[in-house]
Amino acid sequence: MYVHIFSEIERPEEILWVNEGSPTMQLFELDPHFLVCEKSLQSEIHREVETLVQAQGLKFLCPKCFTRNNGSVGTHAIVCWSRSRGAPDTASPKGGRWRFSGTGFYDLSLDAETFMGASSIALNGGCCWHGYITDGSVIDA
């Protein structure tokens, strides 16, 4: 019985069906990077850092466009900043700010930074992706 089930899953068309039924992607699939914002009067630099402990922000590839483009080519990035981790309010993109929790990309969650704030990420234009990052998963809203 076990062998029978296994051979069913091994069929490519079965795997395709499973993927269609599950919109969840993992953050680590979307080339994620942690960022800090170095801002002066003249410039704003988004520098990559190694760990969540250091991070003020997160950059990752748009899951909607990644799926539509079948990969990273032509896919734009999304940047989310955390005010409580020291990202300036003037850092681009402005607007949404999130509280980061977890230990790294595999269990990262983005939640509302304030009681009335939004925990979801909504793009104002372009592909208009709207979703959540919860426990390392990227979930469409």
Instruction: In angstroms, give the least distance from the CB of 3 to Zn ion.
Output: 41
Nearest to Zn ion of 27, 36 (CB atom): 27
> Within a 13 Å sphere around the CA of 18, how many CA atoms are in the beta-carbon half?
8
Encoded one letter per residue, x for contact with Zn ion by CB under 5 A and - for no contact, window 35-64 reads: ---------------------------x-x
4-33 residues in contact with Zn ion (CB under 5 A) are none
Beta-strand relationship, 109-112 and 98-101: antiparallel
Instruction: In angstroms, give the least distance from the CB of 14 to Zn ion.
Output: 29
Nearest to Zn ion of 49, 77 (CB atom): 77
- The CA radius of gyration of the chain, in Å to the nearest whole number, is 17
Q: Which strand (E) or helix (H) includes residue 100?
A: strand 98-101
Q: Identify which of 73, 53, 54, 52 has the alpha carbon closest to the alpha carbon of residue 62.
A: 73
- CA distance to 29, 59, 81, 120, 125, per residue, from 24 (Å): 11, 18, 22, 15, 22
- Choose, by CB under 5 A, the member of 52, 77, 118, 127 that binds Zn ion: 127
- Asked whether position 97 contacts Zn ion by CB under 5 A, the answer is no
Instruction: In angstroms, give the least distance from the CB of 46 to Zn ion.
Output: 18
